[in-house]
Each structure stands twice: as C-alpha cells, then as structure tokens.
Amino acid sequence: MNAALSRNWKHAVVTGGAGFVGSHLCTALLAQGTSVTCVDDLSTGTPQNIAPLRGMPGFRFVEADVTEPFEVRRDVDLVLHFASPAAPADYLRLPLHTLDTGGLGTRNALAVARTHGARFVLASAAGVYGHPQQHPQSETCWGHVNPVGPRSMYDEAKRFGEAMTTAEAGTHGTDTGIVRLFNTYGPRMRSHDGRAVPTFVRQALAGEPVTVTGDGLQTRSLCHVDDTVRGVLAAAASDLRVPVNLGSPVEITMLELARLIVELTGSPSQVRFVERPPDDPAVRCPDITIARGKLQWEPEVALRDGLARTVGWFRTRL
C-alpha cells in the first residue's frame, strides 16, 4: 500500500521518537525524504533505538519531556504524538507521568501543530476499549474501562488524549487524526517490558518456562510494527479526523502464542501457568473496516513470519 508515502512531508516532529514504534516511524519518514525532529525524554525510549539515525541528514534529536511546553523553530507540517509509557512495566512504574503525558503532553504537542498549521496524529490504543462489550471492537464502541483499576493510568490517559485532540480540533480547527493501535510487536521491543511477545521470546531463548497468565485463553490481535507504521503514515496522509483502528483482525490466544514462540525458537521450554493480573482484558480484536475503506490499509506481515523476524532480532541481543 503506497498511499502512506504519497504525501510529501517536509519536516515531521515525532514525540516519543526514541521508543519502540516512534523510532520505526522516524526511520520510515527519513527513508521517504522527510526531515525528522525526534523529541523524547528517554524515560522509556532508548538511545540505541535511534543510534542508526544519528548523523543522518535531516535527523535531529531533542531530549525533552513533552509534559512541559516545547518549541520547534523551523517549519513543521506533521506532528506524530507517540510519547507515552506503553508497556505494563513502564506505566505501572510511572503512573502519574503516564497520565501527564496523555494530558499535558498531548496539549503541548497539539500546540506545536496549531502554531505551524501542521497535521497532528495522536497515538491512542486499544486500551480505550477496556473490557470491550462489543467484539470485534469498532471505533463506535465507547469502551468499558475501570477508572480506578491497575491499568487505569494507561487506559484513561489514552481516552483523555482523544478527548483533548477532539476538543482542539473543534475549538481551533487544528487538523487532527487519531489512530488506535492494537498490540504492535517487532524489533526494538525491550525484553523485560512486561508485554507478551518479548516476555515469551526472552523466556524461550533462555530455555526457561514460558509464563502464561490464567488459563491462556484470553486473546490478542498482534500487528507487526512495519504494518503499524504503514497504517500511521496512511492516516497522517489522509483527511480522517475520526479515530481509526490499526491492528490485525486475526486473534490468537496467549497459550497459542506461547506455543508458537517455543516452536519458532526451537526451545525446550514448557508452558507454566501463573496468576492472571486483575483487569486483564479477555479479548482484543479490531474491526478495521474504516482502515480498509478509507486508508486502503490492512496488515500484510503474517504472524508466523513477523514473529520469526522478531525472534531473530532478539537472538542477536540477548
């Protein structure tokens, strides 16, 4: 799908650009000739993610916390707001920072877009649906979120960010879009970030028991980061202002995922069942009708292939 590359961005700001998805966005934008200012406080992102980009023409790194107002002195025509702790290990460790980034950080990133007349895209997440009462989840689903639960800082930060983005567009006419990401995985994930794919891969490569929570029948819909990046850039190049789901419409149970990763690693690991965390969603699966119809986007990387690539990347680093 080439529509994502048809918009000739001159200069993009990527908040959270040293993070997992953010760094892949920086790489993709630079590859199509767009200058990139990467803004990150390195609270969860890492310098290693952007090390290959340092010294490249058009790339600039600014270490800054987006919860404080920030300026970009040269013209900007695209702002991708991806700053946020996204992994359980991070948002549980940084609950107030997570909420501040979703609120103040979104407002400050929107101010940059408004000042420059730039297109703004908010990275939201499937967490806005909480324990969904609709399955698969379409963008019309309002969600079912526990505001005082152990995941509330992340889910509510994303919901508030969407409300802030919507209010900004209505009040100031800022050109905004919202993407709801479903379980992106791939190279540059951190091995101890608490998410299923890096946890299972790390354990399997070490020959340790692969720890599946509960009975393992809870589902997720895994989308390779290359597909996610294509979807984000397609949304940025569009005129969509409504939220759009970006994820795989194919579900897999956590038990099936664990067994597949054990197979792909050739590991002797056995599955071990452990206690399931509270408020862990039972199902996750996006309805991608809008993405297919409006963006001509759908995932292209098959799960087995994407996981094999991810395992290969982790082998070189663990």
Q: Residues with catalytic annotation?
A: 154
Query: What count of other Cβ atoms lies within 10 Å of the Cβ of residue 316?
Result: 7
Gyration radius (Cα) of the chain, Å: 19
Q: At 263, phi and psi to the nearest 5?
A: -65, -45
